[in-house]
Amino acid sequence: MQKRYLFTPGPTPVPPEVLAAMAEPMVHHRGEDFRTVYETCLTRLRAVFRTESDVLLFAASGTGAMESAVANLCGPGERVAVVTAGAFGERWAAICAHHGLDTHRIAYEWGEVPSPDEIGSALAESGASILFCTQSETSTGVVADVQAIKAAAGEATVVVDAVSSLGAVPLETDAWGIDVVVSGSQKALMCPPGLAMASVAPPLWERLPASRSFYFDWRRTKQAQEAFDAAFTPAVSLIRGLNVAMGMLLDAGLDAAFERHVRLGRAARAGLKAMGLELFSPDDDTAAVVTAARVPEGVDGGALLRRLRDRHGVTLAPGQGALKGKIFRIGHIGWFDVFDIAVALAAVELSLTELGAELERGVAVSRAFEAYEARVPA
Ligand code: PMP
């Protein structure tokens, strides 16, 4: 018997209230029982997205919402621009290429922070009228300034992947004028994987080409949601869970969640640095979602993660792509507190020591608590 700790940047831990809601007996999705939950859930989603627009809800992982954006916004062979700075920017590019679009990359090294001004000029030069970008690039820990990216993008339609950031860091969909935001259930929304969302700004509806997806046809979903009667059999249990999770998030206040994530990021960075590790993700408060550190010289990154999981029950995330084996990532997203950070740090310290790394021992956890306790300036 081994206790398991899930500290990956998705899926993330799910509160017991949410698990309990998902365990309720099944009801039919065309009856009043479900309609009430569906209506509340869609209203809460708008509050979490900070928008008055429709938020379309699909049974899919986050990538489903990303693909829905490509399939509904872009005409055949259209030129589009994509910001790439990690695995999920690459995912946008791959989806666009798969749909036969003329995909223009605005490329950054993995780990670089995209510059809104550069993106603005590159977008203008590309002639594209749709820009796909990522708010929290989960593979590197970088959180991009999507407010400034939208401001630099002129008249272009800006589509933001907020799969790992929605509910963790501020995203003012309406106030910042973000045209489309996509997200998923299994990160800061504190639910299991399986639900994907897309908010769509009203002016877009008149301009949409015919959807190239049947299941992800935005018009069909919007029409169905307006009657609180899902287009297809909805993921009833997951929607019940999401409804409860968003109720918890909104009752505590989104701003409180944003502050907590900043403080968790501070705690993770302070602890990793205290044991002598080098950060890969930025060493500042923007990095409030995922903290990535370099695996120390002489240690096998794969062996570190296996030892953490198999011997100590702690699941962290590896590096992706070319960063595999070179970094490890701690997700501190959603239903997460400073004691979780303490467990993650203590387990990293112990595992690295077991693997022969020279570390400063016994200081990481106390530094993490000190950093957590420092108040976030208003
Ligand atoms: N974008 C980002 C930023 C993500 O973190 C993820 C999931 N790690 C995805 C997209 C893809 O989501 P999913 O795995 O749910 O399809």
**Helix H segments across 182-334?**
218-226, 236-252, 254-274, 301-312
Q: How far is the CA of 66 from the centre of ligand 1 (A)?
A: 9
Count of alpha carbons within 13 Å of 30, Cβ hemisphere only?
A: 3
CA 29 – ligand 1 centroid, Å: 27
The predicted structure's pLDDT at residue 1 = 78
**Ligand 1: which residues within 6 Å by Cβ?**
10, 61-63, 88, 91, 134, 136, 138, 161, 163-164, 184, 193
Does the structure show a pLDDT above 90 at 374? no
Q: How far is the CA of 184 from the centre of ligand 1 (A)?
A: 7
- Ligand 1 centre to CA of 63 (Å) is 6
Q: Return the best residue to mutate from 139, 164, 320 for the ligand 1 pocket (most ligand atoms within 8 A of CB).
A: 164
For the segment 140-187, what is each residue's pLDDT rounded down to a tens digit?
999 999 999 999 999 999 999 999 999 999 999 999 999 999 999 999
Would you tell me how many other CB atoms lie within 10 Å of the CB of residue 288? 27
d(CA 171, CA 189): 14
- Cα(123)–Cα(345) distance, rounded to whole angstroms? 41
* C-beta of residue 98 within 8 angstroms of C-beta of residue 73: no
| 3-state percent breakdown (helix, strand, coil) of the chain, nearest 5 | 45, 15, 40
DSSP assignment string, 104-161: EEEE--TTPPPPHHHHHHHHHHHT-SEEEEESEETTTTEE--HHHHHHHTTTSEEEEE
Best probe residue, ligand 1, of 67, 137, 163, 333 (max atoms within 8 Å of C-beta) = 163
Render the burial of 252-282: b for 16+ CB within 10 Å, e for the rest.
eebeebbebbbbbbbbbbbbbbbbbbebbbb
Question: Looking at residue 52, what DSSP letter applies?
Answer: S
- Tens digits of per-residue pLDDT, 228-243? 999 999 999 999 999 9
| 180-184 vs 195-200, strand pairing mode | antiparallel
Quick one: CA dihedral 245, 219, 61, 92, positive or negative? Answer: negative
Is a pLDDT exceeding 90 seen at residue 375? Answer: no
Measured between alpha carbons, how far is 311 from 160 in angstroms, rounded to an integer?
Answer: 38
Q: What is the mean pLDDT of the chain?
A: 97
How many Å lie between the centroid of ligand 1 and the Cα of residue 84? 14
pLDDT in tens, 244-254: 999 999 999 99
The DSSP code sequence of 361-378 is: -S-HHHHHHHHHHSPPP-
Share of the chain above pLDDT 70, in %: 99
Cα 12 to middle of ligand 1, angstroms: 12
At 53-107, the pLDDT tens digits run 999 999 999 999 999 999 999 999 999 999 999 999 999 999 999 999 999 999 9
Mutation probe of ligand 1 site: the residue of 6, 58, 63 with most atoms within 8 A of C-beta = 63
66, 138, 189, 290: residue to mutate for ligand 1 pocket, most atoms within 8 A of CB:
138
Q: Does residue 373 register a pLDDT over 90?
A: yes
Which residues, including other chains, have CB under 8 Å from residue 110's CB and lie 6 or more apart? Answer: 85, 86, 87, 139, 140, 321, 322, 323
- Please answer whether residues 197 and 58 qualify as being in contact, where contact means their C-beta atoms are separated by less than 8 angstroms: yes
Question: What residue's CA is closest to ligand 1, atom 8?
Answer: 10
